[in-house]
């Protein structure tokens, strides 16, 4: 066996570039392993997103991120009637509010807000004011003398806003249920 064939000995390739000898040494194992893992990841990524299309598209991910950023921005804004009305037109916020309503409020207000123990939320009569901020205030702070708990400590501000937005979508539906309570309010056009 010659020096060029022994393992661990530099193998001279016979090339000389500007006085620098070229040797044919194997790559370090950590480098070679990293190289192979990168190629395998690239192939799997390509198969998942481009060939099989099982993952979300980049545009769908971008739109979801933008919607989440808008919701977080809305949650940090001061509470106004306009903000709550805007949230009542956001399908995802209303869906979240509907789930929360069925879990927390339907026992007293009925599945559709028609009223059971609590007042009917679908008619034009309101005990504590018809404005969106009035509705939010009642949900967040509760009405202790009537037995309604304060939901803000339990659900948090973002969920209470979603719940108020959902209740706003129920206004004016006039579902049959509990009779009118409170003062009648007419929506101003």
Domains within the chain, CATH numbers bracketed = 12-51 (no CATH), 79-184 (1.10.760.10)
Spatial contact of 74 and 83, defined as CB atoms under 8 Å apart = yes
DSSP 88-133: TT-HHHHHHHHHHIIIIIHHHH-TTS--SSSPPSSSSEESS-SSHH
pTM of this prediction?
0.60
* Whether the predicted pLDDT of 3 surpasses 70: no
User: What pLDDT score was predicted for residue 1?
Assistant: 41
Residue 187's pLDDT band (boundaries 50, 70, 90)? low
- Report pLDDT digits (tens) over 9-48: 677 778 888 888 888 888 899 999 999 999 999 999 999 8
Mean pLDDT value across residues 127-140: 89
Mean pLDDT value across residues 100-120: 89
What is the number of other CB atoms lying within 10 angstroms of the CB of residue 175? 16
């Amino acid at each position: 066996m010659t020096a060029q064939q022994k393992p661990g000995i530099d193998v001279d390739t016979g090339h000389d570039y500007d006085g620098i000898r070229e040797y044919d040494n194997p790559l370090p194992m950590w480098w070679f392993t990293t190289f192979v893992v990168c190629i395998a990841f690239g192939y799997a990524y390509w198969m998942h997103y481009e060939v099989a299309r099982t993952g979300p598209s980049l545009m769908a991910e971008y739109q979801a991120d933008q919607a989440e950023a808008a919701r977080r921005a809305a949650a940090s804004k001061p509470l106004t009637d306009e903000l709550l009305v805007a949230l009542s037109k956001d399908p995802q916020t209303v869906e979240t509010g509907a789930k929360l309503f069925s879990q927390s409020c339907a026992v007293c207000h009925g599945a559709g807000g028609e009223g059971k123990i609590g007042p009917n939320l679908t008619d034009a009569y309101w005990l504590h004011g018809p404005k969106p901020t009035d509705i939010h205030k009642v949900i967040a702070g509760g009405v202790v003398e009537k037995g309604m708990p304060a939901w803000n400590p339990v659900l948090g501000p973002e969920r209470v806003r979603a719940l108020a937005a959902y209740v706003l979508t129920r206004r004016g539906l006039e579902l049959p249920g509990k009779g009118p309570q409170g003062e009648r309010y007419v929506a101003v056009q």
